[in-house]
Amino acid sequence: SSATVELAALALGVEGARIAKTLSFKKDDSCILILAAGDARIDNRKFKDKFHMKAKMPSPDEVLELVGHPVGGVCPFGINDGIDVYLDESLKRFTTVFPAVGSENSAIELNLDELFKYSNAIEWIDVCKLPEPQM
């Protein structure tokens, strides 16, 4: 299952950070998608500086309606028109990453150039923070 980073990593036999999770955020009557490393978290200050709004996630029903994929299978492929896609710098630590492809039990391995191309991403952005290294 690719429904959570942990389940996807387990199913694929890779570290969770290499799962490219797709996060949905409300923007006016639509939403934006941000792909980030599986271990990254949105940094609210960076997000607000970039998008000039608070990071507010839509409900699962809104995600399905706006994006066209259910929560757990949200990805940047085959989405509804008018959805802007961004890739977070947290992914750049890896040669390849594994985004979902539209359902809870699907993923594909892509290099970063392929991910940028096939997701129709607008740009690379820096709106996430990584976990603190464990001592």
**Mean pLDDT of all residues in 121-129:** 98
Identify whether 107 is part of a domain: yes
Residue 103 has pLDDT above 80, yes or no: no
Residue labelled with tokens 């949200």? 74
Residue 2 has pLDDT above 70, yes or no: no
Residue 73 has pLDDT above 90, yes or no: no
Cα-Cα-Cα-Cα torsion 28, 31, 32, 36, nearest 10 degrees, comes to 130
pLDDT at 8: 84
pLDDT at 3: 60
Identify whether 47 is part of a domain: yes
Residue 13 makes CB contacts below 8 A (sequence gap 6+) with: none
Q: Assign residue 53 the CATH number of its domain.
A: 3.90.960.10
Identify whether 119 is part of a domain: yes
Identify whether 20 is part of a domain: yes
- pTM for the whole structure: 0.92
If you average pLDDT over each of 11-15, 83-87, 129-133, which comes out highest?
83-87
Sign of CA dihedral 127, 19, 96, 14: positive
Residue 49 has pLDDT above 70, yes or no: yes
Domains identified in the chain, total number: 1
Residue 19 has pLDDT above 60, yes or no: yes
**Mean pLDDT of all residues in 15-28:** 94
Identify whether 134 is part of a domain: no
**Mean pLDDT of all residues in 41-46:** 97
Identify whether 132 is part of a domain: no
Identify whether 133 is part of a domain: no
**Mean pLDDT of all residues in 106-127:** 96
Identify whether 33 is part of a domain: yes
Domain span at residue 11 reads 5-127
CA–CA gap between residue 57 and residue 75 (Å, rounded): 15
